[in-house]
Amino acid sequence: MTTERVLRLLALLQRRPSWTATELAAELGVTDRSVRRDVERLRTLGYPVHATAGVGGGYQLGAGTRLPPLLFDDEEAIATAVSLRLASGGTVAGTGEAALSALAKLDQVMPPRLRAEVRAVHGATDTLVGPGVEIDAELLVSLARACRDAVRVRFRYAGRGGEERERTVEPVRMVATRHRWYLMAFDVDRDDWRTFRLDRMRDVAVTTWRFRPREHPDPAAYVQHSTSEAPYRHLARVRLRATAAQVRERVPPQVAKVEDAEDGWCTLTAGGNDLHWLAMHIAALDLETEVLDPPELREAAQRLAQRLTAMAAPKTS
């Protein structure tokens, strides 16, 4: 089944940046000579498979001078890439991660002239989406490849105070919320896991330094904890008379963690540097609320209630 084997070879070459002939032969259950023949078949079909000699050499799938036969003409390829860019930006619910993966594969083999056409269409298009920070699709593709290929990334990162510092990280996964994109990565200099907002990253450079993937926390849960709880002076926990699903429709996951409790209640956990700010935003949910922690949040709520009562009082002549 030569055709099936060639397709399996193509899938392997897309999985990671480099394979030796021996590794490919073991994966496919054939000889090194069969691998070389199948590589030539891929090249004949238009897939740019590069070979490097010597220690550490092997086969690598590169960018081509023409689009391989995906049964797309130029116009279809452009339309597909534009659609994937929009979907990777979160405009199509539930498809962002799959669209980003597909875009990375398509971008890898798309000729430069078609890339220019895609950028032109994307640059001339506005999309009505919710409030948030727009991220350049080229950055998303670059980081997606770095996560896939397990290579380190260097960039300058602006902290909360605005000061920029250079960071070197081993990327694991990108996590998209309703309004922002985050990168979960192991910070080499700080020897710990960190979360980075993509809109605060500058001068991003994907290196060729490969790393061995580490055991890591669940990326989505880690990003939610890092963005909604960890960075703040105060951590508020309240019970709300509503289901978790109802509250999640109003509160983005990067703002608070919401969990079902019992008897039609749920718990909300949110961080903040100002208890008055927390009390005001929790009150704005307009739900029956019981404060669990900290006790000082009740005092902040009382002060807020006094101010609102004074604001609502009729003006005296």
pLDDT tens profile 54-104:
655 688 888 765 545 554 566 766 777 766 666 655 543 445 566 666 777
Does some domain include residue 190?
A: yes
CATH code of the domain containing 35: 1.10.10.10
Instruction: Count how many domains the chain has.
Output: 4
Residue 108 inside a domain? The answer is yes
Would residue 303 count as lying in a domain? yes
Quick one: which of 224, 287, 233 has its CA closest to 258? 224
In this structure, are 300 and 252 located in the same domain? yes
Q: What is the crossing angle of helices 74-88 and 112-123, to 10°?
A: 50
| E runs forming strands in the chain | 49-52, 58-61, 151-158, 164-176, 181-187, 192-197, 201-210, 234-240, 256-260, 266-272, 289-293
Collect the ranges in the chain with pLDDT lower than 70. Answer: 1-2, 54-57, 64-74, 76-77, 82-101, 120-134, 137, 160-161, 178-179, 228-231, 254, 316-317
Which of 15, 32, 61 represents a domain boundary (last residue)? Answer: 61
Residue 38's Cα: distance from chain center in Å? Answer: 35
Do 184 and 142 sit in the same domain of this protein?
A: yes
Task: Give the domain extent around 43.
Answer: 3-61
CATH code for the domain of 161: 2.30.30
**Residues 238 and 286 placed together within one structural domain of the fold:** yes
158 lies in the same domain as 184: yes
Q: 8 with 56, same domain?
A: yes
- Determine, yes or no, domain membership for 220: no
Tell me how far apart the alpha carbons of residues 260 and 108 are, in angstroms, rounded to a whole number: 43
Q: What is the CA radius of gyration of the chain?
A: 25
Number of Cβ within 10 Å of residue 278's Cβ equals: 25
| Residue 262 belongs to a domain | yes
276 in a domain, yes or no? yes
Residue whose C-alpha is closest to residue 181's, from 240, 239, 134, 141: 134
Whether residue 224 is contained in a domain is answered as no
Same domain for 265 and 240, yes or no, is yes
Residue 226 in domain: no
Residue that terminates a domain, selected from 159, 182, 214: 214
